[in-house]
Amino acid sequence: MRGKSVLGAVALVVLGILFGAVLVSGFGWVKPGLADVKLGADKSPVMPNAELNNFSQAFIEVSEKVTPSIVQINVVAEAKKGQGFDFFPFGDMDGSPKESEGSGSGIIISNDGYILTNNHVVENAKRVEVILNDRRKFEAKVIGTDPLTDLGVIKINATNLPAAYLGNSDGLKVGQWVMAIGNPLSLSSTVTAGIISALNRGSLRLINDSYGVENFIQTDAVINPGNSGGALVDLNGAVIGVNTAIATRTGTYIGYGFAIPINLAQTVAKDLIANGKVSRGYIGVQIREVDAALAKSLGLSRPTGVIIEKVVEGGSASDADIKKGDVILKIDGKEVNAPNTLQSHVAGKSAGSKVVLTIWRDNKEIERTVTLKPRGDDNVAVKDNSDRPEKEDNSSSEQIKLENIGLTLRNLKADELKKYKLDNGVFIADVKPYSLAYDQGLGRGLVITRADRKDVSTVADIEKIFKSSKGRAVLLEVADNQGNSRYVGIEIPD
């Protein structure tokens, strides 16, 4: 027994020595002192780069210098359908919306309190509150709005404000770095960065008016509800756009945002401050982009310009010998390749201003000087044919099918001519899906009134023209039952 006790004691001593060795070894069982704690590697994986640091510093400086010029705008307004993606309706106990509340952003454009924002932010406003970057709050007055450009100007009673520097949006390039500064999702003073991903972006249908000006800067800098009215700036800190909208299926950012070019915004803002409204001039035409087939049918070497489909009677264009079917190639020497290019240029001009149009007519270029007039009703005059003599009824059973084009045509009855308010034409009875006619936007129910600049009254007329035009494009003029007409170019296969 005694021997076993001795052995046990020796074993305990040995275990104690071993346990102590483990505690002071590298197994981490002894808690180190604060000075002994070392985290991370000894050096960064990439050596410091002066160019990269300077690039980063540009973003930092722009954020610091421009953010004080951007304000948050809180608005209570009359509820209105389609008010904008920055607003949320609220109403009575029965759930019917009476008012809407929302927040947007604004750009200080003068040190005495004028602020540029979007029309949809302050439209129908009952109360407007402005919160500055230093957290001061002011009640604001709406000076004026321009729904056709979605711009507005408000004013607060303050002095010595940090006005933003307004740059030049005409010199922008796709791929250029930009920053969006605003107050998205009620998060004040948020800065995001990206590039200009497209210029002169139109046809977004954000402005529900045929005279609406959509000529946006497209960017992948993140823009969300609340950014509206905020600034898009370059890396020099110059404001080059007013953030306005996003492309989204969810209501929040999924890829692209859109900003109004600052050159247009400045022109509108000056008019609103001086007059409370925009005294804009108009040419008085309805236009459409020229595609490849239309260009070929018009004798143009490439798709360029916009074709005039209607001229307002008594408007600026009609007074300047501008005709339906003319193609506007340039305005004041600037090439025009889309309707919004022309619209945005004219939007910066006041009534009474002159513009020079370069026009393609009868296979040659001509120039016309147009004195812009203010917008009236601008209803395109439609000839009233109600009192014209009845025409003989073309046999409605006479019908042709043009398989190579994808068109089925038939003659019009006299009562149909009267319904369409036309003197002549051939009815499109059917269009084959994915055919040449289908691709050019022709559809059942339209009437072809002219082909190759000649009036057509029967299917025989148009068949003759098509047969003699194989291998080239033919210019068609088509009308709908609402009195609207447009031009279409269609290539006739050999």
**Does 251 score more than 80 pLDDT?**
no
Q: What one-character DSSP code corresponds to residue 361? A: E
CA angle 245, 248, 253 (to 5 degrees): 75
pTM for the model stands at 0.75
**Does 136 score more than 90 pLDDT?**
yes
In this prediction, residue 133 carries a pLDDT of 93
**Does 55 score more than 80 pLDDT?**
yes
In this prediction, residue 307 carries a pLDDT of 93
Q: How confident is the model at residue 256 (pLDDT cuts 50, 70, 90)?
A: confident
Q: Catalytic annotation on 430?
A: no
Distance between CA atoms of residues 215 and 206, nearest Å: 11
**Does 4 score more than 80 pLDDT?**
no
Distance between CA atoms of residues 201 and 128, nearest Å: 31
- Collapse the DSSP code of 21 into the 3-class scheme (helix H, G, I; strand E, B; otherwise coil) and give the result: helix
> What share of the chain in percent tops pLDDT 70?
84
Residues 228, 344, 457, 485: which is the catalytic one? 228
Query: Mean pLDDT, the chain, as a whole number?
Result: 84
**Does 91 score more than 60 pLDDT?**
no
Distance between CA atoms of residues 239 and 216, nearest Å: 14
Q: Catalytic annotation on 105?
A: no
**Does 379 score more than 60 pLDDT?**
no
In this prediction, residue 341 carries a pLDDT of 87
Distance between CA atoms of residues 381 and 284, nearest Å: 12
Q: How confident is the model at residue 65 (pLDDT cuts 50, 70, 90)?
A: very high
Dihedral over alpha carbons 481, 483, 489, 494 (to 10 degrees): 40
- The mean pLDDT of 72-86, rounded to a whole number, is 73
- The mean pLDDT of 30-58, rounded to a whole number, is 83
- The mean pLDDT of 94-103, rounded to a whole number, is 69
In this prediction, residue 378 carries a pLDDT of 40
How far is the CA of 205 from the CAs of 112, 264, 342, in angstroms? 35, 18, 17
End-to-end, the C-alpha distance of the chain in Å comes to 119
Residue 447 contacts residue 477 (beta carbons within 8 Å): no
pLDDT digits (tens, 9 = 90+) for 315-365: 899 899 999 999 999 999 999 988 888 988 898 888 888 999 999 999 999
Q: How confident is the model at residue 382 (pLDDT cuts 50, 70, 90)?
A: very low
406: left (phi over 0), alpha (psi -120 to 50) or beta: left
pLDDT digits (tens, 9 = 90+) for 417-464: 888 889 899 999 999 998 999 999 899 999 999 999 899 999 999 999
pLDDT digits (tens, 9 = 90+) for 400-418: 998 889 999 999 888 888 8
Q: What is the Cα 154 distance to its own chain's centre?
A: 23
- Collapse the DSSP code of 444 into the 3-class scheme (helix H, G, I; strand E, B; otherwise coil) and give the result: coil
In this prediction, residue 218 carries a pLDDT of 93
Contacts of 327-331 spanning 24+ positions with Cβ under 8 A: 327/290, 327/298, 327/300, 327/359, 327/360, 327/361, 328/287, 328/357, 328/358, 328/359, 329/304, 329/305, 329/358, 329/359, 329/360, 329/365, 330/357, 330/358, 331/355, 331/356, 331/357, 331/358
In this prediction, residue 3 carries a pLDDT of 55
3 or 241: whose pLDDT is higher?
Answer: 241
Q: Catalytic annotation on 468?
A: no
Residues 120, 271, 344, 452: which is the catalytic one? 120
In this prediction, residue 142 carries a pLDDT of 96
**Does 126 score more than 80 pLDDT?**
yes
In this prediction, residue 173 carries a pLDDT of 96
Residues 69, 100, 103, 150: which is the catalytic one? 150
